Amino acid sequence: MRKKIVAANWKMNMTQAESARFVESMLLDLGDITDVEVVIVPPFTAIAKVMEALGKAQNIKVGAQNMYWEKRGAFTGEISAALLRDLFVHYVVLGHSERRTLFGETDEIVNRKVRAAHEATLRPIVCVGETLQQRDRGNVEKILSIQLRGSLAGLSPKELQETVIAYEPVSTRAASFKSSRPPAKSRGATAGRATRLAIFL
């Protein structure tokens, strides 16, 4: 059975000092947990400090919250896969609902980032999910299918196996997790040929 992933997105929170203290406490709480893969996703400014605080811990991986698809160049405010690799990051979150809704990221943009991540041997956590309005209209399966097909277009079978899908419906902000889950048929369809579903916090 494939190991489940629990990923914690810190968003725009925690300084370097706060991050280090949090990791120290988390290591004590988690102990030698191995039945799930724990991924923490701090802001860019705290990644190096988090890696330092983790030390030799092997049961916790570090991810980044976003990346740009170009390898280098005049792209002010962006960060490349190569720069993330230099920080020993394993995962990168792409297509998060906040990136889609606040910054206008499309499935095509997400796809370019996903392909660049694979090229740099980063494991993309691709986020998909419907809004409350889309759910109320009964469009869950249609929306998830469009997002998955667009975000994963052109990937090889191996790349699909190395891709993690995080189902994070925007509707959970206005409803409970239970009521915002799609029907079982839809949940199966969303995973497609990707390797694992992530529990995304």
Give catalytic residues, as residue numbers: 96, 168
Whose CA is closest to 7, among 60, 79, 51? 60
List, in sequence order, every residue forming a beta bridge with 62; answer none if it has no partner: 40
Name every residue whose Cβ is closer than 8 Å to that of residue 72 and which is 6 or more positions away in sequence.
80, 82
The 3-state DSSP composition of the chain as helix, strand, coil percent (nearest 5) reads 45, 20, 35
Tell whether the torsion through CA atoms of 25, 98, 90 and 193 is positive or negative.
Answer: positive
Tell me the DSSP string of 126-169: EEE---HHHHHTT-HHHHHHHHHHHHTTT--HHHHHT-EEEE--
- CB count, 10 Å around CB of 35? 7
* Residue in the block written with tokens 């910054």: 103
